[in-house]
Structure 1
Amino acid sequence: MLTIYRTDASGHVDEIEDFDKGSWIQLVNPTKDEADQVIEASGIPEDFVYDPLDIEEKPRFEKDDEGLLMIIDVPYVEEDDTGRTYNTIPLGIIVTGRHFITVCSRDLDVLNLFANGKARLFRTNYRSRFVFQILHRVSMTYLRFLRQIDRRMDELEQELQRSMRNQEIFQLMNLQKSLVYFMTSLKANDSVLDRIVKTPSLEKHEEDEELLEDVFVEHRQAMEMASIYNDIISIKMEAFGSIISNNVNFVMKFLASITIVLSIPTMISGIFGMNVQVPWEGQPFGFIMAITMMIGFSGLAFYILWRKRYF
């Protein structure tokens, strides 16, 4: 999908048809014709448009005579039967002398905020500030998703304390995988941020310094939070693994103890049922004595095993 936006003097975002100077060109999973239109109108290399569409593309910074290409990893969330899954996807930001271009293989809430005119002080012709605003929103999205992961970890911990089910374990594994993705993407984005700050091609105004500082603060905070939460969930997974193993051992001890207690009456009845002479054979109270022995020895075995905490 190809969409072109431009802000007016009041900051209102309008959707336009032409590739005007100062416009924002948004490509979301574009067709080849749409990608070729943008390439022809902006004069940028084909790689600038097609590389960000590869979901395996790594964050990087590239400079060309026609403009700058910045690829960063942006977080997103998906809902399925097992719950929420967090992942990251490449977003290409291209800055030329006339246009601001974003390329991604899926629709992102980070960019929809700007397209819907809900971003403060947003102007499509202020290209450097637009870059910093996107980076700021991406960092805030990481932080928001990390808080959601933290809350979900607490909920799963409470559910696992009540009942050890595979479903909660699998959800914890998905959260741990999401944290690994976030940590990898944040580290890769960090190097791109350093290049953005150092490049003279992006003009930085005084009013943008505070915004750029906020980008770094929240980005570093997101990196620290992802690392901390990953350590916490690793500890929880190890603890729950030990608890499950301990529960299995307890069940096995309980079943073994029950088997021992129940085998004593069977053994005594087998002895008295042999075709040989046995005590109290033919006596009226012989059956009662056999039953008494079964109950007595079974009770003794139960008491011994109970004292050893096998029950």
Structure 2
Amino acid sequence: MAVMHFGENNTWININSDLISEYSSIYDTYEIDDEMIEYALDKNERAHMEYNRRTKTLVVIYNVLNLSREENHYDTIPLTFIVRQNQIVTISNGLNEYIIDQIREELEENMHWSVFNFLLHSLFAISENYFPIIETLNKEQQNISKLLRKKTTKDNLFRLSDLEIEGMYLVSATKQNAVVLEQLKTQQAFKELDDSEREQLEDNIIEANQLVAMTELHLQILHQIANTYNNVLNNNLNDTMKFLTVISILMTVPDIVTGFFGMNVQIPFTEFRHGWAIILLIIALGWIGVSQIIKRIMKD
């Protein structure tokens, strides 16, 4: 646990849930109830906010990008902010601890912040960390697209699928974050913000919406690429089936001709020394005739 004082008697307490037990007395010390602890410890908790008018406590759950890829894609983990009067508590873990380090460095240079300055700057920092990852994923998408143009392999298609999964996770997470910021404007706590803090909130909303637009565009491009190569593969399969169908039809010509000459009746051309050549000629003429008929049918 880390404690920092800033501004006019403001306090920031960061609790690392990986190091402090769920049943630690520290949670009771800072009046963190079981519901808040459940939010903080649930890695699948969606981003949302709650405001308790009786205690004037604002709880913000925000999606933080997990910088380490798991199962070949990025996902997000929640970071909990609890704002009560002149105190702000963050409940973090090892996966989002890098955000806490960034906030600490920025706070050390801005010790005059209010509690809401701290909260809004923290949320802005979280959003900013998405952009480099999105740009990296865009470059990966471009590289995979180039590889698929050269050769459509299973490995490249699987990687494209992984990028689509990443895109869906990121779109969902960024949309939830944007909704949380919009909800802040409707809460009682918003009325207590001064002009600079309200302007800061608007900047956060703009940044969050830009991030949503960027992730949605990334996902749409991936969907388009996947649909294109799905159509290409279907077209290749159709061409293969047509080729095999044509071959199977042409192969019936020799069967028909040789079957006719294999009948238990008087066989023509037996008196000719090179009768077999005549039979081959008949087969060749049959092939040519059938192939011309198939060409006309396929053109139509």
Alignment of 1:202-217 (within 5 A): 211-217=200-206
TM-score, structure 1 normalization = 0.77
Are 2:86 and 2:115, in contact at CA under 8 Å, matched by a contact in 1?
Answer: no
CA drift of 1:103 comes to 1.8
Q: Distance in 1 between matches of 2:157 and 2:70?
A: 16
**Do structure 1's residue 196 and structure 2's residue 207 form an aligned pair?**
no
Which residue matches 1:16? none
Shift of residue 280, structure 1, vs aligned partner:
0.8
Residue aligning to 2:58: 68
Aligned match of 1:79: 69
Seq. identity, %:
20
Give aligned pairs, total: 294
Q: Which residues in structure 2 correspond to 1:39-118 (within 5 Å)? A: 39-64=27-52, 65=55, 67-79=57-69, 84-97=72-85, 99-108=87-96, 109-115=98-104, 117=105
Question: Residue 285 of structure 2 corresponds to which residue in structure 1?
Answer: 296
Counterparts of 2:49 and 2:269 in 1: how far apart (Å)? 96
Name the CA distance, whole Å, in 1 between partners of 2:34 and 2:291: 79
Q: Which amino acid aligns with 1:4?
A: A
Q: Quote the Cα distance in structure 2 between the aligned partners of 1:148 and 1:31.
A: 35
Structure 2 unaligned spans of 5+: none
User: What code does the residue aligned with 2:179 have?
Assistant: S
Q: Secondary structure in 2 aligned to 1:91? A: strand
The structure 1 residue matched to 2:133, chosen from 120, 136, 145, is 145
Task: Pick closer, same or farther for the CA change 1:113–1:88 going to 2, 3 Å.
Answer: same
Post-superposition shift, 1:77? 4.7
Task: List per-residue Cα deviations over 1:197-216 (Å, max 9, x = no partner).
Answer: 56565775666566544322
Partner of residue 209, structure 2: 220
Alignment of 1:107-256 (within 5 A): 107-108=95-96, 109-115=98-104, 117=105, 121-123=109-111, 126-197=114-185, 201=189, 211-256=200-245
**What CA distance in whole angstroms lies between the structure 2 residues aligned with 1:246 and 1:120?**
61
Classify 1:307/1:124 alpha carbon distance in 2 versus 1 (closer, same or farther; 3 Å): farther
| Shift of residue 255, structure 1, vs aligned partner | 0.8
User: 1 CA distance for matches of 2:199 and 2:50?
Assistant: 25
Shift in alpha-carbon separation, 1:246–1:156, aligned structure 2, 3 A? same
Q: d(CA) in 1 for partners of 2:280 and 2:255? A: 11
The runs of 5 or more residues in structure 1 that have no matched partner are 10-19
Moved more, 217-226 or 200-209: 200-209
TM-score (norm 2): 0.80
